[in-house]
Amino acid sequence: GAPSVSTATAVREQHGHDESMHPCALPDVVVWPQAVGQVQELAALCHRSRVPMVPFGTGTGLEGGVNAVQGGVCFDLSRMDAIAELSLEDFSVTVEPGVTRKALNKHLRGTGLWFPVGTVGMRGV
C-alpha cells in the first residue's frame, strides 16, 4: 500500500519514459520494493498473473527500456539503496540496485577508489 504503491497518473508518467526519443508508455502501477524478498514476491505474483514487469532505476537511460509498452508493474528500485559490502583488497563492492554512482562515490570518498561513468561490471545483491 501507500507510500509503496501508486496508480497516480503523474507518477506513472514519470516512470513511463526515460531520456530516449521514444514516446511515454505508462505502467499500470508503480511499486517501490525495499527488500529482495519483496521483489521476489512481486515478481512471482506478476509471473503467475502474466503481468509485465518493468524495472526502473533513475530514468536516465537512452534505450526506452523503462517504457511499459504493454502496461504492467513498474518496479522502482530507488529505495533499495544500501551498500552491503566494500572490499578494498579486491576493489569490489556489493550494492543494492538503487545505489547511484554519486552515492557510491560519496561512500568511497577517502578510500582512494572511485566509480567512474561508464564502468562495466556494477553488480547488485
DSSP conformation letters of 33-53: --SHHHHHHHHHHHHHHT--E
pLDDT at residue 124 tops 60: no
Q: Distance between CA atoms of 121 and 69, rounded to whole angstroms?
A: 28
* CATH placement of domain 5-76: 3.30.43.10
Enter the pTM of the model.
0.82
Q: Distance between CA atoms of 110 and 125, rounded to whole angstroms?
A: 24
The Cβ of residue 28 has, within 10 Å, a number of other Cβ atoms equal to 14
pLDDT at residue 67 tops 80: yes
The Cβ of residue 105 has, within 10 Å, a number of other Cβ atoms equal to 13
| 118 — pLDDT class (breaks 50, 70, 90) | low
Looking at the chain, the domain(s) classified CATH 3.30.43.10 span 5-76
| 103 — pLDDT class (breaks 50, 70, 90) | very high
Summarised one tens digit per residue, pLDDT across range 7-48 is 999 999 999 998 999 999 999 999 999 999 999 999 999 999
